[in-house]
Chains A and B, each alone.
Chain A
Amino acid sequence: MDIVRVVYKRPFTLGLLFLVLILLATIPLYVPPYPVISLTSVIMYIVITVGWAIFSGPTRYISLASAAFFGVGIYVSAILGQILPLPVLITFGGLVSFILALFIGLLTLRLKGMYFIIFTFGISELIRHFLLWWETNFMGTVGRWVVAVDHTTVYYIMLIISVIALLTTYLIRRSKFGLALRSIGENEEAATHIGINVTILKTITFAISAFFMGAAGAIMATRWTYIDPKIAFNPLFSFMPVLMAIFGGVGQLYGPVLGAALLAYLEELLITELPYYYMLLFGTILIIVILFLPSGLAGLIEKWRKRGSEGQYANTRR
């Protein structure tokens, strides 16, 4: 490792991050409401995608249960919105998702690969259909109203959640915990043999990733004001983070952020005017990325950056 370069790079990256954060934090002060609302959606996708990548990035288990955790957050907010103060409500939304994920995680221990993917998808669809059936048969009405919160508050809370999510990802990646997770992704059997408690590790990480999705759902509900199981547990919320993370590249910390930001921005631009073309473009991008950019945009950037530094640091790496 070339330590000199790392040391030089750090204050620069930190400074840049700080600048971006300040910029994002002050945006509601001088920008009209509509772009702020759009930006909230973009950040929401970043939170879900980063949350997804916490578990699925290093372990390479593709989860399609994001919609379940997101939806649970939304429902917590809808049911308890009038009773609890906002910060408690959001933490609670996250916690309920956390517990649900612990439960699902313990159930799916034996499942790998394709079985895990379809199981997670099945469980979120089951919750959606069950709620729909419950509401039509026992509640009399489908859907609920949520106490509305003004858009600036929603924006700031979403921003805070996203910062916490990113910070968590960063800390996990840097720790022994993250290393163990990556070893599960490389070879689970070998990881077991060197004494990693694969089961507990996977379950806890799965639950952490669900926490952020639940929290994002809890705050998003207050902006949508009306929700029903079809909105809250829309399977698109399961697919989108996967596609966004892969588009951005899960190998790097900034990959999912980049992928989510770009695609969510594209969605904000196109979805109201040309929804079909947007989804068409989305599918095309996905296929192109899988075929030609297996490590996503971040992989491309890293490759390009490495090539740039190769001249200066020839043969010093490895």
Chain B
Amino acid sequence: MGGIYALIAVGLGLQYGVGRVLNVSHGEFIMLGAFATWTLYTVFGISPLISLVICGPVLFVLGFIIHRTLFQYLRGKSESIGAFADNSLLASFGLLFIIQNVALLIWKADIRGYSYLESSVSIFGALFAAHRLVALLFAVGISLVFYYFLTRTRLGKAIRAAAEDPETAQVMGVNIHRVLAICFGLGALMAAFAGVLISMMYEMQPTMGLEYTIIAIIVVVLGGLGSITGSLIGGFILGLIGSIVTYFDPGLSLIAYYVMFILLLLVRPTGIFGK
């Protein structure tokens, strides 16, 4: 689970850290990814691993367009970056309601699920469900590829520059609006990937998004708002703590997350890796 948390959190961290949009509808993109995969698998018989390649780019484009139209306009209108952060938070609430209810109209409120790679695999004597292993592998793989992209490519550099200081980045020749829209799109892409992987393991319904958004926000705060490496590590930490608490009492895992979250905000609001 930690791998998936990391994936979700990196997406949200990218949207907030670079674009200052605390995207509360992040979970809705995850839900869209999961339901698209479900539809592709049950109706067309397309393997979830192939729908990674389909859902990712589609949601990337959707995210890109949303940022280009909605958030770019809002950013231009807001008097300060703080005001923009507040406004964009509220606007993404609007997005949440829209996406969730369109999904409810299309897929109805039923709980869905499918079985894929149900067989179990034995590693060092311990048994694991194959789909969980595949999901973990892909989550780690995608995170590593993304990390490489961010640190080694030109666009990755531009993104990091925009995260540090948007204005200076612009002066240095970074097309800031394009970079921000790409970041938002990449956030949606990560959400789509996470959604596809989640759909292999868990049941789903159109209202599942908020839960994942909350987890993502907790992880992002844990790692430090704005720090992408922090989100990556925070995700694994939260997944680990979640597993430990679930071992003792499954009902306590969400409570443990919130307690941790609140204590963290009180003691060290900048997160573990924040500056």
Contacts and interface: CB of A to CB of B under 8 A. Distances in A.
A119 B97 contact: no
B266 A107 contact: yes
Contacts of A122: 218, 258, 261-262, 265
B134 interface: no
Interface string B67-102: 000100110010000100111011101111110111
B91 A290 contact: yes
Q: Is the interface of A mostly helix, strand, loop or mixed?
A: helix
B142 interface: no
B262 A284 contact: no
A113 B82 contact: yes
Given A113-B85, A126-B262, A291 B74 contact: yes
B144 interface: no
A129 B258 contact: yes
B130 interface: no
Interface of B: 22, 70, 73-74, 77, 82, 85-87, 89-91, 93-98, 100-102, 104-105, 210, 214, 217-218, 221, 225, 251-252, 254-255, 258-259, 261-262, 265-266, 269
B201 to A, nearest CB: 22
A246 B90 contact: yes
A280 B221 contact: no
A283 B262 contact: no
A252 B102 CA distance: 34
B75 to A, nearest CB: 11
Contacts of A231: none
A277 B77 CA distance: 29
List 7 tightest A-B contacts by C-beta distance, closest first: A283-B97, A286-B94, A287-B94, A283-B98, A126-B258, A280-B101, A283-B94
A301 interface: no
A235 B210 contact: yes
B9 to A, nearest CB: 14
B255 A133 contact: yes
B105 A119 contact: no
B18 to A, nearest CB: 15
A224 interface: no
Interface of A: 60, 62, 107, 110-111, 113-115, 117-119, 122-123, 125-126, 129-130, 132-133, 136-137, 235, 239, 242-243, 246, 276-277, 279-280, 282-287, 290-291, 294
Contacts of B104: 276
B255 A130 contact: yes
A62 B94 CA distance: 16
B22 A280 contact: no
B80 to A, nearest CB: 10
Nearest to A118: B217
B89 A243 contact: no
Contacts of A118: 22, 217, 221, 265
Contacts of A111: 265, 269
Contacts of B102: 280
A287 B91 contact: yes
A286 B261 contact: no
Given A115-B265, A125-B214, A242-B90, A294 B221 contact: no
A283 B70 contact: no
Contacts of B214: 125
Contact of A290 (B74, B100, B217): B74
Contacts of B105: 276-277, 280
A122 B266 CA distance: 12
A99 B225 CA distance: 31
Contacts of A239: 93
A133 B90 contact: no
Nearest to A130: B255
